[in-house]
Structure 1
Amino acid sequence: MTDTSVTQQVRFQTVEPDFAEQRIDNYLLAQLKGVPKSLVYRIVRKGEVRVNKKRVKPEYKLQAGDVVRIPPVRVAEANALPSAKLDRVQALQHQILYEDDVLMVINKPAGLAVHGGSGLQFGLIESLRALRPQAQHLELVHRLDRETSGCLLISKRRSALRNLHEQLRLKTMNKQYYALVRGHWQAHVKMVSAPLQKNTLKSGERVVRVDSDGKDAETRFRIIEQYNQATLVEASPITGRTHQIRVHALQAGHPIALDDKYGDEDFSRFMQGLGLQRLFLHAHLLQFTHPQSGQTMTVEAPLDDALRDALRRLGSKRFA
């Protein structure tokens, strides 16, 4: 196998104002493209990364003028991006819901990871960088699970990323998802509030559990349509924890269809019998304040044919 990586020398970088308030881990991930996320956290934890000659934690927020020591690491060569001519990459062009000079909203397909790693050669963000080589600062504003489809916000400028991250922090960004869950959701259950804790199994698989020692998490739920054995709900996460909607739906007693981590096998088999082959979780609406114009932006992503067909087979009137 040909080694396509190179070892960089120690670097000392002065943080420009445009990168102020960015977490050191996210800064390093952007600077060390091609380096596994696990390695980035390891070099921070071991103190090999220094800011102003001092050790820092991954959540440290950089300030303009900070001097960052980046140790020698093996990184993928610059040509690690996929070819923009690949059909899979080209197909993303047709999934762009909105785009301007500072941001983009894309309807992420199910089955596509938001970034490469864990054995994946490339993900959505690498594909978009190949499609938009002139956009030097394409970054994910937030994330979606690999099997979740729908609205995903991408920034094109550091200033826009900071602004949008602040909206997430202040909980002023509105994200709404459609989820098909087992059984009849009870109308009075409009909010699930349960702290969530991330755990890593011996296999390396990451799972999230409700745990009193976990981080606070809240999700609003609203019934969209009831069926004999299922309910289509709209889920609006107030916080942004990993697998939050999936675990909160389970906590309410209504796991999501075809959820391979937190689902119900019988319900998933029933839905597979109706032709569903993927997790029924779709980010259908995203509302935020445009970082440049101040305008309220509302972007919607239609359900794909696979999800609409499953609803029609259940007897949906809304999506008939």
Structure 2
Amino acid sequence: MTVQHVDIQDPEDVGQRIDNFLLRTLKGVPRQYVYRILRRGEVRVNGGRIKASYRMKLHDTVRIPPTRSRQDLPVEYSADIEETLKASVIFEDADFLVLNKPAGIAVHGGSSIRSGVVEILRDVYANPRLELVHRLDRDTSGCLALAKKRSALQVAQAAFRERRVKKIYELYVHGHWPQSNRVVQLKLERYETAWGERRVRVSAAGAQARTDFEVLERAGDRATRLQATLHTGRTHQIRVHTSASGHGIMGDDKYAAAQPEHQQPENTCNGVGRMENIPRLCLHARKLTIPLGADALRVVAPVEASMAQFWASCVADDVPAQGPEKPRGGNQR
């Protein structure tokens, strides 16, 4: 790759910090590398050295040294994945695109995954400015918002930082979740296992985390369908909070399987609740509300068919469900 000279002509770029501009422009390049070339003066604006905090002006010329990253490789995906993601769009306007993300698809590429949702959709929609507003775990389905331009991204991310966003999940857990267990406030910290895997655990040294739970339905004493409302957005928060409460999420082979042996059900849902028979992680981001000034982005994503069918099999031999959920609305802004 040769030296690039980028003329700042788009009003969306004016006022943006140079480090953030480079991180967006050089997708796939490590953050450490971006800050190293800034410190060394290899990045120049109008021929002069600048700091990482420099904010770009209209008609600036940015010199970017030769770099190579995943972004230089072609985005690879199948026609089936393209159609699946297109069919998953539940809301779109000039600023945002929202998917009912299928379980099993990563939201972005990484060391072992070249392309995720955002890389594929940038290619499909021919929009390199498309950015994730937030993230979902690979195995979690449901509402995933992307911004089509920087101004929209800034407003949405500000709402997340200020904790004004409302996120509601639906999940199925092992056992009889106590009706009284409505609020879980356990501090969470990230750590690395002996084999190098990043995980999260309850720790007094961790960050504050709160999840509110509501029982929606029961399959006897074998399983419970819950609604979870996040007040903080820690990594794997719901998964760790449920596991620490003694009722791990069905299909969670990372945290539910780590529960004490006496808490692990031998035979839930007439056998189909055993770990090897659960079709997926039973966690779904059902509702997302993002305040946008005087307006708001409100979306509801129906639970994926395989997850809903699995729950139906759990309650098939039981009495009618207790406390049915109220009818759900549509998507709007």
Tell me the TM-score normalized by structure 1.
0.81
Contact 1:34 1:76 in 2 (8 A): yes
SS of 1:207 mapped into structure 2: strand
Q: Which residue of 1 is the match for residue 315 of structure 2?
A: 315
Q: Which residue of 2 is the match for residue 4 of structure 1?
A: none
Matched, 1:215 2:207: yes
For residues 201-224 of structure 1, the C-alpha deviation after alignment (integer angstroms, 9 at most, x for no partner) is 242211011122222221111111
Residue pairs, 1:109-258, within 5 angstroms: 109-133=102-126, 135-227=127-219, 228-258=221-251
For residues 277-300 of structure 1, the C-alpha deviation after alignment (integer angstroms, 9 at most, x for no partner) is 210000011112246xx3333211
Q: Which amino acid aligns with 2:180?
A: H
SS of 1:74 mapped into structure 2: coil
For residues 60-115 of structure 1, the C-alpha deviation after alignment (integer angstroms, 9 at most, x for no partner) is x77455998866532246462236x7221122111000001110110100000001
Matched, 1:92 2:82: no
Residues 77, 169 of structure 1: CA spacing in aligned structure 2 closer, same or farther, 3 A cutoff?
closer
Higher Cα Rg, which structure: 2
State how far apart, in whole Å, the 1-side matches of 2:284 and 2:19 are. Answer: 28
Tell me the TM-score normalized by structure 2.
0.78
Contact 1:102 1:160 in 2 (8 A): yes
State how far apart, in whole Å, the 1-side matches of 2:130 and 2:113 are. Answer: 19
Deviation at 1:120, TM superposition (A): 1.3
Unaligned runs of 5+ in 1: 1-6
SS of 2:139 mapped into structure 1: coil
State how far apart, in whole Å, the 1-side matches of 2:17 and 2:190 are. Answer: 20
Q: Which amino acid aligns with 2:272?
A: G
Q: Which amino acid aligns with 1:42?
A: Q
State how far apart, in whole Å, the 2-side matches of 1:139 and 1:279 are. Answer: 25
State how far apart, in whole Å, the 1-side matches of 2:218 and 2:15 are. Answer: 45
Residues 77, 282 of structure 1: CA spacing in aligned structure 2 closer, same or farther, 3 A cutoff?
closer
Deviation at 1:191, TM superposition (A): 1.6
Q: Which residue of 1 is the match for residue 330 of structure 2?
A: none
Residues 189, 21 of structure 1: CA spacing in aligned structure 2 closer, same or farther, 3 A cutoff?
farther
Residues 309, 214 of structure 1: CA spacing in aligned structure 2 closer, same or farther, 3 A cutoff?
same
Matched, 1:273 2:266: no
For residues 233-285 of structure 1, the C-alpha deviation after alignment (integer angstroms, 9 at most, x for no partner) is 11111111111111111122221111121013744974672552210000011
State how far apart, in whole Å, the 1-side matches of 2:100 and 2:266 are. Answer: 24
Contact 2:191 2:198 in 1 (8 A): yes
Deviation at 1:145, TM superposition (A): 0.2
Matched, 1:81 2:67: no
Deviation at 1:41, TM superposition (A): 3.4
SS of 2:241 mapped into structure 1: helix
For residues 161-185 of structure 1, the C-alpha deviation after alignment (integer angstroms, 9 at most, x for no partner) is 0000011111111111111112222
Q: Which residue of 1 is the match for residue 284 of structure 2?
A: 282
Q: Which amino acid aligns with 1:165?
A: Q
SS of 2:158 mapped into structure 1: helix
SS of 1:159 mapped into structure 2: helix
Deviation at 1:27, TM superposition (A): 4.6
Q: Which amino acid aligns with 1:234?
A: Q
Percent identity over the alignment is 37
